[in-house]
Structure 1
Amino acid sequence: MPLVLFAGFPSSGKSTWAQRLAEQLQSRISTLAPHEEGANMKVILHSDDSLGIRREMYRESATEKAARAAQMSAVKRDISKNNIVILDSMSYNKGFRYQLFCEAKSAATSNCLVQVICPTAVCFELNAAREDRQHAWQDDLLAQMIARFEEPDGAKRWDSPLISVAHDEAELPFDRIWEAVALKKAPKPNHATVLKPAVAADYLQQLDRLTNQVVSDLVAYQQIDAFGTLRIKNTDASDCFVELPSLHTSTATLQRIRRNFLNLNRVRQLDPDRIIPLFTEYLSNHLSSDGAPH
């Protein structure tokens, strides 16, 4: 891409910093000689406003999933080694941040997470002071979004490098961001991102067993009336996540999605460590795009 992902509470100043970063990046690129690293890059800024995502969409699970699907679609559409994509969103859900990390890695591009730090009380003050009330948050929804926020952890690969900036700082740590997205060497393709020819005799059995295991875990999780983010252990012991709708999804619907995934991947071999991450992402995207569960 590279990808610069903003995270933080609503009304913490993320959009101001994101816009300022886009301007600084464009300014830096314009000064580079044609042979310099980053000289051919284009800056693309996506935000809830540019994507038509209303504040109220975060109130209900189904509409929030549609909002995240729009953000994910915009990022996927603009994946390119010559584009710096800035996503100005709360990114409060670590499962969503993990999905975006996977997109950046599969494109063999760099990424970083910029967290805007702002006290809760100040967020409410800044929100109340908005002149454009259409862009203000309802106080109860603002409180809900702050309560839902899952703090980034720089020790996790999907939250790294983590760059923090206070809402009232004078300047962005621009040089650190530039180094992370323009100068840092892109990750090499590995088992998690490279497709291989289907040569293993037991590949189809692994594909069937691992995807069926995910569906079984999801069905069992729903039996306790739970929704939100389901954590699933991958074969390499890393964590994968499935974003669940607020209502139960039938086993028949889950098996239909699983069959579609199997059909897409029968003719190519995925590394065993890649099957569960890809399937959980596939599930999350389809459960989101399908809207209300069947």
Structure 2
Amino acid sequence: MKKILVTGANGQLGSEIKELAANYPNFDFIFTDIEDFPLDKATEIISNFKVIQPDIVINCAAYTAVDKAENDPETADAINHLAIATLASLCHDSGIKLVHVSTDYVFDGSSPVAYKEEDVPNPKSVYGVTKLAGETACLTNCPESIIIRTAWVYSEFGNNFVKTMLRLMSERESLNVVNDQVGSPTYAADLAEVILTILDSGKWEPGIYHYSNAGEISWFDFASDIKEMAQKSCEIKGIPASSYPTPAERPAYSLLNKSKIKAVYGIGAVDYRVSLERMLKRL
């Protein structure tokens, strides 16, 4: 039985992998989070690794507070970059498979078409810079690893756009939502299924892959769909990003091209509306 170490297990993606674990009885899952597997301390990563001795690592842990990272670059870099360098080295040295999760924020948002894996990254935020550095460290120290870039992650666990919208729609009569940042959301349960499907396939093709749900929408469109499906009466108004300045710059367009993961693993993207409806029902 293969032993899988899941880091960041209390986050959105880690929580969804926990939900699915029972469907994969041929894997023995070890779920860890910051309390028992802190990623900002290299010595603890190494000692924990020796104790657990995994066959596979799924790194779901990340510093994801995008705006906070602008004033806390050291912590963001420690978790999103330096920890990955340590993890990747340990995996490479012991012949352990590593799946690392990254982000659409490695791109600057200037592309007129959906981003492919080989497109040149150009992050605009500390978060994006540290996540790109993590990707580079991962592939440098463990070239045989798999990196999955995803975008706009939400689930019934943790804090995310969908849960924030539901709360605000219950509290307010109207909401302003940015309508000029375009991408596609990702239901963490779908991403968890994708990762476990890859591991269960027995086929290991290293490199970077893109995965999000299917669709091309703005945050305003997403909020409007949430309103409609949750049957809220709150008015949603579209505003430009310039009217809602944030400490970190977001890519204006970060749609991910998912043709590679389909070609290599036969994994298709679920329509975002189908996944959103499923999440709202579970919630």
TM beyond 0.5: no
TM-score by length of 1: 0.34
Larger Rg: 1
